[in-house]
Amino acid sequence: MSSETNKLTKKDINHAAFRYMFMACNVFNYENQQGPAVVYGLEKALRKIYPNDEDYKASLNNHFKYFNTTTWMANILLGASLAMEEKDGVSSLDAVQNFKTGMMGPLAGVGDTLIWVLYPTIMGSIAAYMGLEGNPTGAIIWLLLNIFFLFFRFKLFHIGYDSGLKLVTALGSKLSVFTESASIMGLTVVGALVPSVVKMNVGLVFKTGKVELPIQTDILDKIMPALLPAILTFVVYKLIASKKMTVIQIIFAIILLALILSYFGVLSV
């Protein structure tokens, strides 16, 4: 895309990166996780992209949807999202959401491992050990590395933006195919998380004479492993889609139901 058609400048990209990084975890919530932080970070840049109020509101509402990944990795996704919207406007909103949903899981795995586990464990241990020995070098290195990585996070936003431009330019008329593929990837990632994240076990045991038959292991698990978590996820999805209950109401309803069923022994840990 030529520079004449660019609505966003390097300053706009840096501003969006700074706003998101500042707010990334400050407005984290159980309903849409980092969604509000994304909107806060991008809203100035999106206003330049969408001078029309209705288009602007449609984009903001789209970014208010569920989003959660390692904050460093989010810079890449959000930079690419801005590029896609700058290129194709409101027609790219579905592609942007599916792209974010499909990529936030895999990138979170990479980011959590490298950034939240390996880096602070290795470098933090070295700095702490040198500090215990009375050597301030480790603490100075730790400080300098964090300053370096702060600026590197701005670079990640620009990498995402440049990649997003190349992505939408290369796809062209095939954007709908990409949208469908990203949607399938997102559904696959979310579906794979269900049995590992949602836990629901029946504690009832059918007894007759000397025969004992655990309902969970000998009946439900034989039909399909993680059957109850899948059913619960489906019910919650339908409740959210119906808009008859808010996410917070659903959370409290599940907690209350779990307490009651656990008290009577229907559910177990």
Question: In this structure, are residues 127 and 96 in contact, taking their beta carbons and an 8 Å threshold?
Answer: no
Identify the three-state secondary structure at position 212: strand
Q: What predicted TM-score, i.e. pTM, was given to this entire model?
A: 0.66
CB-based burial label for 104 (10 Å; 0-12, 13-18, 19+): buried
pLDDT value at residue 6:
67
Name the β-bridge partners of 202: 267
Angle subtended at Cα 199 by Cα 198 and Cα 203, rounded to the nearest 5 degrees: 155
What gap in Å lies between CA 28 and CA 30, rounded to an integer?
7
The pLDDT, as a whole number, for residue 42 is 94
Instruction: Please tell me the distance from the alpha carbon of residue 164 to that of residue 30, in angstroms, as a whole number.
Output: 29
State residue 82's pLDDT score.
93
- Sign of the four-CA dihedral 173, 41, 46, 158: negative
The span from the CA of 124 to the CA of 118, in Å, is 10
Is-contact 24 34, C-beta < 8 A? yes
Block means of pLDDT (10 residues each) for the chain, 269 residues, are 64 93 86 90 94 94 90 89 90 86 79 79 82 85 88 90 70 59 68 80 81 82 85 88 84 91 84
Residue 3 confidence (pLDDT):
42
pLDDT at 2: 39
Query: Rounded CA gap, 40 and 37, in Å?
Result: 5
- Strand partners for 33: 29, 67
